[in-house]
């Protein structure tokens, strides 16, 4: 279609137009030149450094946590490989989409993952994988591995998981490790999200020795996270292996004695303070905590009326009952207030003001000296002794012997217990101390509270020549003598002898065996104050929570080996009756069966001790 076009004023071009175009070109040119100069020449060195950093990533190499073994080399805590899902956020093109996918695969709530991501983002180094999900099950692992390929940034990490082969048996000693919380991460910059730290028990207190140091590797990667080359810059250093003084077999045996009861048994060497068994019943499986304990399980444990999480050896305190009389005797002798031969008359009760303080033996013990008062656990004798000493002297002596303060064992959250004094009562209640309260304390009742471990430590010091030694769980740690009992050897030997007599003829006769020297002191600690000694009922007729705590503090020597065994059974009733057989069993284990009656231990009629204190 031929068509002619007329010129439409061809020369009438917009006047400013061309100038506009040319100045725009100039602006564009100058703008880019200046910016390029700034980026490439002025800051070029800086960006070149950044580009090098982009290719090189540094990542830490996890260090193995030290293993924990018992004294015979049996493993108590080991590391097992575990798999975690890591996320390298710089490699991840679509964080939200990726998290959504992970949530789909695993069934873990998206918001939980997002929360983990946000927390991890704060703490992870650039290009270092942050742990999204730890301890993947094999099922999840397979699922993720099959899917993760198409989601850049996701990575399966191999890590260590703590495993306690004897979970329940040593939970209170070992404690456990679990993922570091916000606070711990904040405090310790060497920790990364997902790292495990000791939370309880030895794992907590010996954290620094067990943890080791992370290594560092340098990886050359592309932006998809694909490795080209890697090089270890710093070798990781594994944590120290620790050998405990614990004898796992003894521990298991002692635990069995307490099965079904709430209570504590502690076995230690008096000369070294090394703990061979530390039993707290009931117990819990510490492996549960390693993987992050489910809320329901945790609630069950926490609300269990038997308090399985409580370490009854060091974290619980009880009135020591008559076992405290050993300390009273030591105190009186070292103060020089009485001679061992001094006597008192026990009529069955002792009157102070208008109140009768009863002896556990209704008819009274008659005339008693210190030895027979200890052997038969005469309350009236110790009421009078307490009166003579006064609570402040008792307090001073008991503190020196290690009561009223943590023993210093390698476990966290130890309780101090309580040894009262006039000043303490004033401070605590704003009231004056009364004579009656001194009497109560003299037989280990009233305000006095001790932990089984404190008592074991004290009994050990009486036996070992007066050295107050810090109880210790690590076999190779040096013996730590904290102080010395103010007690002459003669007086000390007297007490030891009196304890031996208690086994021979007193309240702890159950322990008797012909081939070893054993000493002991029973105790029955009232949980509720009884109005009248006459209404004392048979143990089994009382409601559980009102029943007395049963104590037995003992030592045994055979073939140059000596042990202290303290047993406490919560609401167990009478010390000799309840704790006695358990302690005897422990000695039988330690010393071997009594010759000639090896196989008939159970059917043999047990020697009956005095029942009552």
Partner 1 sequence: MSPIDRRLLTHIYWPLLAIIAVLFSVGVLNLYSASGFRMGDGVSLNPFYQKQCIWGLVGFFCMISLTLFDYRYLKHLAWPLMIATLVLLALVPVMGKTVYGAKRWLDFGVFSFQPSELAKIATLVVGALILSKDTGRLGWLGLLGVLAVALPPAAMVIVQPDLGSGLNILLLLCGMILYRGLTGRVFKVLLLVVPILVPCGWFFLKPYQKLRILTLFNPERDPLGSGYHIIQSQIAIGSGQMWGKGFLEGTQSQLRFLPEKHTDFAVAVFAEEWGFVGTIALVVLFSLFLYFLAGVSRDAKDRFGSFLAAGVFFYFFWQILINMGMVLGIMPVVGIPLPFISYGGSATIVNFCLIGIVLNVSMRRFVFKKT
Which residues of the shown chain bind partner 1 in the complex (CB under 8 A)? 1-3, 5, 7-10, 12-18, 20-22, 24-25, 28-29, 31-33, 35-37, 39-41, 43-48, 50-52, 54-55, 89-90, 92, 95, 221-224
Of 416, 369, 370, 422, give the one whose Cα is nearest residue 393.
422
The smaller minimum CB distance to partner 1, of residues 174 and 221, is found at: 221
The smaller minimum CB distance to partner 1, of residues 28 and 598, is found at: 28
**Residues sharing a CB contact under 8 Å with residue 288, sequence separation 6 or more, in sequence order:** 167, 297
Of 530, 411, 405, give the one whose Cα is nearest residue 474.
411
Which phi and psi (to 5°) does residue 431 adopt? -125, 160
Alpha helices in 57-200 (DSSP H): 95-106, 110-123, 138-148, 167-174, 182-187
Instruction: Give yes or no: 23 in active site.
Output: no
Measured from the Cβ of residue 568, the count of other Cβ atoms closer than 10 Å reads 35
Do 301 and 595 form a contact (C-beta atoms < 8 A)?
no
- Which of 124, 245, 316, 322 is catalytic? The answer is 322
Region label for 591, one of left (φ > 0), alpha (ψ between -120 and 50) or beta (otherwise): alpha
Q: Give the DSSP H/E element, type plus range, for residue 229.
A: strand 227-234
In whole angstroms, the minimum distance from the beta carbon of 23 to partner 1 comes to: 10
Reduce the DSSP state of residue 456 to 3 states and report it.
Answer: helix
Reduce the DSSP state of residue 575 to 3 states and report it.
Answer: helix
Alpha helices in 271-310 (DSSP H): 287-290, 295-303
Report the distance separating Cα 294 and Cα 307, nearest Å: 18
In whole angstroms, the minimum distance from the beta carbon of 10 to partner 1 comes to: 4
Q: Give the DSSP H/E element, type plus range, for residue 191.
A: none
- Crossing angle (nearest 10°) for helices 95-106 and 110-123: 130
| Cα angle 522-525-530, degrees, rounded to a multiple of 5 | 135
In whole angstroms, the minimum distance from the beta carbon of 191 to partner 1 comes to: 24
In whole angstroms, the minimum distance from the beta carbon of 130 to partner 1 comes to: 13
Report the distance separating Cα 589 and Cα 250, nearest Å: 7
The smaller minimum CB distance to partner 1, of residues 29 and 546, is found at: 29
The smaller minimum CB distance to partner 1, of residues 49 and 235, is found at: 49
Measured from the Cβ of residue 73, the count of other Cβ atoms closer than 10 Å reads 8
Do 327 and 468 form a contact (C-beta atoms < 8 A)?
no
Region label for 390, one of left (φ > 0), alpha (ψ between -120 and 50) or beta (otherwise): left
Do 383 and 356 form a contact (C-beta atoms < 8 A)?
no
The smaller minimum CB distance to partner 1, of residues 27 and 423, is found at: 27
Do 239 and 86 form a contact (C-beta atoms < 8 A)?
no
Catalytic site positions:
322
């Amino acid at each position: 279609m031929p068509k002619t076009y007329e010129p439409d004023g061809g020369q009438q071009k917009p006047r400013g137009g061309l100038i506009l175009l040319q100045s725009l070109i100039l602006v564009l040119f100058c703008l880019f030149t200046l910016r390029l100069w700034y980026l490439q020449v002025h800051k070029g060195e800086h960006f070149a450094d950044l580009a090098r950093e982009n290719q090189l990533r540094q990542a830490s190499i996890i260090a193995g946590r030290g293993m924990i073994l018992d004294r015979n080399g049996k493993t108590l805590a080991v590391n097992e490989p575990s798999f975690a899902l890591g996320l390298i956020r710089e490699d991840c093109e679509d964080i939200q989409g990726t998290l959504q996918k992970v949530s789909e695969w695993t069934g873990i709530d998206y918001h939980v993952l997002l929360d983990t991501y946000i927390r991890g983002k704060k703490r992870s180094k650039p290009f270092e994988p942050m742990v999204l999900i730890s301890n993947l099950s094999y099922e999840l692992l397979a699922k993720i591995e099959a899917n993760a390929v198409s989601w850049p940034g996701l990575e399966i990490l191999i890590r260590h998981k703590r495993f306690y082969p004897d979970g329940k048996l040593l939970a209170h000693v070992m404690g456990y490790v679990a993922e570091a919380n916000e606070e711990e991460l904040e405090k310790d910059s060497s920790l990364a999200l997902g790292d495990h730290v000791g939370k309880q028990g030895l794992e907590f207190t010996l954290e620094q020795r067990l943890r080791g140091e992370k290594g560092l590797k340098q990886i050359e990667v592309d932006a998809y996270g694909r490795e080209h080359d890697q090089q270890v810059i710093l070798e990781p250093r594994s944590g120290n292996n620790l050998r405990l003084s614990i004898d796992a077999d003894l521990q298991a045996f002692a635990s069995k004695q307490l099965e079904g009861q709430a209570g504590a048994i502690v076995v230690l060497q008096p000369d070294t303070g090394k703990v061979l068994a530390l039993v707290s019943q009931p117990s819990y499986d510490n492996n549960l905590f390693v993987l992050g304990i489910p809320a329901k399980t945790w609630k069950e444990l926490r609300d269990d009326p038997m308090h399985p999480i409580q370490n009854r050896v060091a974290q619980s305190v009880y009135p020591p009952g008559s076992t405290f009389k050993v300390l009273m005797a030591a105190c009186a002798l070292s103060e020089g207030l009485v001679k061992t031969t001094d006597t008192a008359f026990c009529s069955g009760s002792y009157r102070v003001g208008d109140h009768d303080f009863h002896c556990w033996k209704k008819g009274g013990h008659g005339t008693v000296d210190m030895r027979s008062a200890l052997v038969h656990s005469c309350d009236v004798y110790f009421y009078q002794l307490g009166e003579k000493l006064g609570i402040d002297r008792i307090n001073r002596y008991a503190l020196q012997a290690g009561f009223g303060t943590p023993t210093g064992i390698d476990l966290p959250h130890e309780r101090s217990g309580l040894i009262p004094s006039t000043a303490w009562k004033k401070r605590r209640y704003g009231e004056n101390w009364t004579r009656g309260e001194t009497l109560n304390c003299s037989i280990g009742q009233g305000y006095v509270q001790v932990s089984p471990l404190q008592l074991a430590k004290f009994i050990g010091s009486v036996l070992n020549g007066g050295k107050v030694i810090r109880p210790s769980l690590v076999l190779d740690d040096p013996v730590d003598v904290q102080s010395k009992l103010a007690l002459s050897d003669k007086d000390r030997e007297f007490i030891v002898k009196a304890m031996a007599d208690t086994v021979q003829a007193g309240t702890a006769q159950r322990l008797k065996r012909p081939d070893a020297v054993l000493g002991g002191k029973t105790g029955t600690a009232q949980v509720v104050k009884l109005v009248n000694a006459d209404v004392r009922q048979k143990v089994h007729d009382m409601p559980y929570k009102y029943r007395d705590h049963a104590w037995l503090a003992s030592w045994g020597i055979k073939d140059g080996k000596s042990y202290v065994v303290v047993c406490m059974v919560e609401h167990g009733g009478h010390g000799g009756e309840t704790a006695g057989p358990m302690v005897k069993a422990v000695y039988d284990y330690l010393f071997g069966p009594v010759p000639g009656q090896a196989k008939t231990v159970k059917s043999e009629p047990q020697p009956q001790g005095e029942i009552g204190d």
